Amino acid sequence: MELNQADEVLSSPLAPNAKDNLSMMHSKFIGCKLYISESRNPTAIAAIDLAAKTDPQVAVLSKFEDSLYNRVRYTLVSYIIDGSSTGEVIYSPIRKVLLAMMEAAFSAINLESHSGAHPRMGVNDDLSFHPLGQATMEDAAYLAKQVASDIGNDFQVPVFLYAAAHPTGKPVGAIRRELGYYRPNHMGNQWSGTMLPDVLPIKPDEGPTNVSSERGATTVGATPFVEAYNVPVLSKDVATVRRITRRLSGRGGGLPTVQALALPHGDDCTEIACLLDPDHVSAYQVQTVVEQIAAEEGLEVEKGYFTDLTKDRMLDKYLKITAD
Distance CA 195, CA 180 (A): 8
Give the 3-state secondary structure of residue 305. Answer: strand
Closest by Cα among 32, 33, 65 to 46:
65
Run of H or E residues at 191:
strand 191-192
Structural contact between residues 139 and 210, judged by C-beta atoms closer than 8 angstroms = no
Residue of 114, 118, 166, 265 marked active site: 118
Answer for the pair 104, 51: CB distance below 8 angstroms, yes or no: yes
Instruction: Tell me which DSSP letter residue 4 carries.
Output: P
Roughly what angle, to the nearest 10 degrees, separates helices 311-323 and 18-25? 120
Q: How far from 106 is each of 102, 143, 238, 306, CA to CA, in Å?
A: 6, 21, 32, 28
Contact 1, 310 (CB under 8 A): no
User: DSSP assignment, residue 16?
Assistant: T
Q: Are 290 and 231 in contact (CB under 8 A)?
A: yes
At a CB cut-off of 8 Å and minimum separation 6, what does 272 contact? 230, 231, 233, 241, 244, 245, 248, 260, 261, 262, 290
Is 62 within 8 Å of 9 (Cβ atoms)?
yes
Whether 265 is catalytic is: no
Q: Provide the annotated active-site residues.
A: 118
